[in-house]
Amino acid sequence: MVNLRVIILSGAIGGGSLLFGALAPAHAETSITGQAHVIDGDTFDIGEERIRLADIDAPELGQSCQGPKELRRCGKLAAELLAQRIEGREVVCIVHDIDDFERSVASCSLNDVDLSVLMVREGYALTFVKFSRRFVVDEADARQRRAGLWRAEIEPPWVYRGKRWEVAAQQAPAGCPIKGNISQDGERIYHVP
């Protein structure tokens, strides 16, 4: 069961109506509570809502790392760790933003344990410094302890994603890596690297 609530933080919302479950501009945050289904090391679903953990970036599901054989499939390992901790359990998330992929970017916890902090301290996610420096100290500590994936060489996930686009663009006709299909119903379906 998904529980969506809008919490008004201050003042009235002027001039417009607030849709149930929608984010109000800078006046409200949305709380999402429910059982988690893990997608990858920093993304999971609660019901129909796709949640992206705030301030961190875990290796992509298909990403590999250099190092000991047991750590080479680092993206899969990050997803497995998150699943071990939260799969099917009641997670509470406070949504701060909606990203370009229409995922709710949120601070989430399980039994008062912040999941972003957990993933960084366990060594299965990096601080997403493009958006936040909140966990830089935790990441440095995890690196020093060689926790989790830090026993291998981790390419930052944002670098890995950028390279995938570059390779796809080079191989694509006219340098456009986005491909499209039209279904029998006329629905346009786009595929990206």
The predicted-structure confidence for 40-80, as pLDDT tens digits, reads as follows 999 999 999 999 999 999 999 999 999 999 999 999 999 99
Question: Would the pTM of this model clear 0.85, i.e. be above it?
Answer: no
54 touches 96 (CB < 8 A): yes
Considering only residues 25 and 16, tell me which one the structure prediction assigns the higher pLDDT: 25
Tens of pLDDT along 181-190? 777 787 777 6
Q: E strands along the chain, which residues?
A: 3-8, 28-40, 43-46, 49-53, 56-57, 90-98, 104-110, 113-114, 126-127, 179-182, 188-191
Q: What percent of the chain has pLDDT over 70?
A: 76
Closest among 185, 164, 4 to 95, alpha carbons compared: 4
Longest dimension (CA), the chain: 58
pLDDT in tens, 158-170: 999 988 766 566 5
Q: Tokens 């479950």 correspond to what residue?
A: 21
82, pLDDT greater than 60: yes
Domains of the chain, start order: 3-182 (2.40.50.90)
C-beta of residue 32 within 8 angstroms of C-beta of residue 49: yes
Of all residues in the chain, what percent carry a pLDDT higher than 90?
68
